[in-house]
Structure 1
Amino acid sequence: MRPLTDTETERLFEKLANYIGRNITHLIDPPNDPHCFRIQKDRVYYVRTYIANLATSISRASLCSLGTCFGKFTKTGKFKLHITALDHIAQHAKYKVWVKPNGEMPFLYGNHVLKAHVGRMGEDVPEHQGVVVYSMNDTPIGFGVTARSTAETRRLDPTGIAAFRQADVGEYLRDEDTLF
């Protein structure tokens, strides 16, 4: 495991800022428990600094994972968030969308959020902004990017796409062999 380079850190923070905005500081500098990001085999892990320092005594070949996997870097150098980061993103989410019970299963099977399935949507959510998708009982079930702003979504027909799916908790079953 090694620390991220400046370009890797920049790409990671750009992606996270799309979902949690300036709350990135809450991830890195919690008041009593500092955390850091480390990379191992193109995967980025979010781990306590204390544990990351202890892990330096383990060889890179022997270490499989450590902490929470936030995502991975593709071969082209782009960062892709994984569903394993949902718990941390949901705590600090800037914008949210709640899905009705009849829209949960289509979303969990990998479909986008339709306007007919939107129960609530945060006020003043801009277009192409990262959102966390919740069920109506406030359980985070995934994240995505808005297709339209809040005002435009209200005027959409019921079959129009309100948010593009990026990841959902159904991936734990569909893609379990590639997540870790």
Structure 2
Amino acid sequence: MRPLDEKETTAVFEKLFKFTGTNLKHIVERPSLEGPGASRYCFRLHKNRVFYVSDSLLKRATNIARDRLVSLGTCIGKFTKTGSFRLTIQSLDLIAAHSKHKVWLKPTSEMSFLYGNHVLKSGLGRITENTSSGDGVVVFSMSDVPLGFGVSAKSTQDCRKLDPNGIVVLHQADIGEYLRTEDDL
């Protein structure tokens, strides 16, 4: 487990900034409440996966050999073979707490999203103002339970004029992935 280099840090922060905006500083400067003394959270790379872990937990994990270490903290994403960074569904709690743009789904379209489909205008309950096309959005149920995240296909103003079968949010990840990829684990 090693710290991210400059190129990797830039890729991770750009992706997180897409979803959190200026709230990214709350993620980076978040104090840790576990362990003795005051510590912070940091990002570490292990086997092409990026982990969000507290310093105190990281210090305790130094007793474990690198080849035996499977996971530590929260896996927020991974680097692909081409070098690009992808957020995983495990980062949903972190992103949802600090998200800038949000979308709420009607109860009738929640299952469709959890099966891996895009969000249509007919299933849209609410959307935050000033969302532009290409922004990262977190998808919530009407009872404020985070369901997943994606990229907005249309701005807030374009959504008002869109037909009911138009795509509003392009699906990236959802909590139903745990069940769909159960055989791969």
Aligned to 1:54: 60
- Unmatched segments (≥5 aa) in structure 1: none
Number of equivalent positions = 179
Alignment of 1:13-28 (within 5 A): 13-28=13-28
**Is the alpha carbon distance of 1:133 and 1:73 closer, same or farther for their aligned partners in structure 2, counting shifts above 3 Å?**
same
- Whole-Å Cα distance in 1 between the matches of residues 182 and 75 of structure 2? 13
Distance 1:175 1:37 in 2: 25
Which 10-residue stretch deviates more, 31-40 or 110-119? 31-40
Written as runs of structure 1 = structure 2, the 5 A alignment for 1:101-116 is 101-116=107-122
- Rounded Cα–Cα distance in structure 2 between residues aligned with 1:87 and 1:120: 20
Give the letter aligned to residue 64 of structure 1: V
Q: Is the 8 A contact 2:32 2:54 kept in 1?
A: no
Tell me the residue number matched to 1:81.
Answer: 87
Residue in structure 1 matched with residue 37 of structure 2 by the alignment: none
Measured after TM superposition, the shift of residue 176 of structure 1 is 3.4
For 1:44, what is the secondary structure of its paired residue? Answer: strand
Deviation at 1:59, TM superposition (A): 1.1
In the alignment, the residues of structure 1 paired with residue 184 and residue 167 of structure 2 have an alpha-carbon distance, to the nearest angstrom, of 28
- Provide the C-alpha distance between the structure 2 equivalents of 1:49 and 1:79, rounded to a whole number of angstroms: 23
1:55 CA drift (Å): 1.4
Q: 2:135, 2:152 within 8 Å by CA — same for their partners in 1? A: yes
1:29 aligns to what? Answer: 29
After TM superposition, the structure 1 = structure 2 runs for residues 80-159 of structure 1, keeping only pairs within 5 Å, are: 80-159=86-165
Partner residue in 2 for 1:43: 49
Segments of 4+ in structure 1 off by > 4 A? none
* Pick aligned residue for 1:164 from 163, 167, 170: 170
Deviation at 1:142, TM superposition (A): 0.3
**CA separation in 2, counterparts of 1:26 and 1:67?**
17
Letter in structure 1 aligned against 2:139: V
Bigger mean CA deviation after superposition, 29-38 or 135-144: 29-38
Per the TM alignment, residue 76 of structure 1 is displaced from its structure 2 partner at its CA by 0.6
SS at match of 1:61: helix
Root-mean-square deviation (Å): 1.2
Counterpart code for 1:16: L
| Aligned partner of residue 66 in structure 2, secondary structure | coil
Q: Give the TM-score of the pair, scaled to structure 2.
A: 0.93
Is the partner of 1:86 in helix, strand or coil? helix
Among 58, 67, 71, the alignment partner of 2:77 is 71
Closer, same or farther: CA 157–117 of 1 in aligned 2, 3 Å: same
Moved more, 142-151 or 169-178: 169-178
CA distance in 1, matches of 2:46, 2:184: 15
SS at structure 2 position matched to 1:105: helix
Secondary structure at the residue paired with 2:61?
helix
